[in-house]
Amino acid sequence: MAKYSGPDDYSWLPDNPELGFAHLQRQRYEKLRDYSTRTVADSSYDARSYVNELIAYDEEHQLGILPESNSIPYDEQGFEEFFDFFRSAAEMAATKFLLREARRKNIDAGNTVLLDASARLAIRKFIDAIKTKLDELDIPASKREALFNRLNAFLSEVDRDRTQLEAWYAFAVESARAAKEAGTEFASIQKIIDRICDTVDKAERIVDRLTSPQKRSQIEAPPKRITNQESDLDDELPF
């Protein structure tokens, strides 16, 4: 996220519209509170500017969380009552969006693992073995292609420092559907899938590193190593 550089600059806002609204609301309301010692006329102008800007953002991104611009009262007494409602609605929406983002980050952390070099090597070999078996499997070409696409998506994650598991879970679901069609022919592939699951289960999850008080207070240890993974890999491939 870029750094805030002025009232007419919006490049600092996150690309996510909901998160962008939350950051804009927090920043603009903090500025509005700083203006609280100004004259009544200036304070009214600042409050209207706050309302107009948030409604403009809401309408531009079609969030649909605030009143429409034509509902803003022109008279000061009506605006004061309107502003009390508007301020609460905007703050509540921003809080919900921030909570939603926090929950998403927690889910992402729970589905992200740290793989060491031996684990990456093992998974790559397992994936190659699955691809070989899929080529021999009697299933529709469209289903085979879908499985290959899921595997390739996971393979790209394996090469990252932090490996997200969504692509692997998607492949697991797709392969379960294929197994129903292929029957016993899929058994050898399932054994390789189980080996990848074992490798992933032994890896350290990011959420464990983030939430463990001991790990936060101590120097981080190297990621877990999966012992003897490479040496016995060829012996354990089920073909």
59-108 pLDDT per residue, tens? 999 999 898 888 899 888 889 889 988 988 999 999 988 887 777 665 55
Does 2 map to a domain?
Answer: no
Tell me phi and psi for residue 113, to 5 degrees: -125, 160
Q: ∠ CA(185), CA(190), CA(196), 5° rounding?
A: 150
Poorest-pLDDT segment among 78-82, 187-191, 200-204: 200-204
Query: Is the entire prediction scored with pTM above 0.75?
Result: no
* 143 contacts: CB under 8 Å, gap ≥ 6: 174, 177, 178, 181
Judgement on whether residues 129 and 149 belong to the same structural domain of the protein: yes
Judgement on whether residues 189 and 175 belong to the same structural domain of the protein: yes
Q: ∠ CA(198), CA(201), CA(204), 5° rounding?
A: 140
Average pLDDT, the chain: 79
Band of pLDDT at residue 143, cut at 50, 70 and 90: confident
Range of the domain at 21: 17-108
Domain closes at, from 51, 83, 108? 108
Instruction: Please return the burial class of 89, using the count of CB atoms within 10 Å of its CB with bins 0-12, 13-18 and 19+.
Output: middle
Average pLDDT on 124-149 reads: 90
Is residue 147 within 8 A of residue 223, CB to CB? The reply is no
Domain closes at, from 77, 108, 139? 108
Q: Which amino acid is at 182?
A: A
Domain total for the chain?
2
Is residue 126 within 8 A of residue 191, CB to CB? The reply is no
What DSSP state is assigned to residue 15?
A: S
What per-residue confidence (pLDDT) applies to 2?
Answer: 52
Band of pLDDT at residue 24, cut at 50, 70 and 90: very high
